[in-house]
Amino acid sequence: MKIEALKKRLDRNRPMTSVTIRIPEDVIEDLKRLAPLLGFSGYQPLIRAYIGQGLRADLERFESETVTALIASLKRRGVSDEIIHEALNEVVHS
């Protein structure tokens, strides 16, 4: 994830929206029990943390798969490993 996008994700004052989701009662009870043990003020922040963790993992996985596919495509078109490496370094360090 790029630095600017990460900074936005860490902003506690970013806009929020309400959603309704059906979750089994026993799961909610477990979340309520675990939240304070994990340092959360309630079960809803814990749910948001769990969603955020899964979302970041999936975004990283799909972004990584896209970059890997792009590199393979460039190699098939004759772009050298050296040029690909230079381009990747430029993107990472910009």
Prediction pTM value: 0.64
Residue with tokens 């979750």: 23
CA distance 53 to 92: 23
| Euclidean distance between CA atoms 34 and 42, whole angstroms | 9
Cα atoms in the Cβ-side hemisphere of radius 13 Å centred on 15: 1
pLDDT tens string, the chain, 94 residues long: the values are 466 766 676 777 888 899 999 999 999 999 999 999 999 999 999 999 999 899 988 888 888 888 888 889 999 999 999 998 888 888 777 6
Task: Estimate the crossing angle of helix 81-92 against helix 43-76, to 10 degrees.
Answer: 150
DSSP 84: H
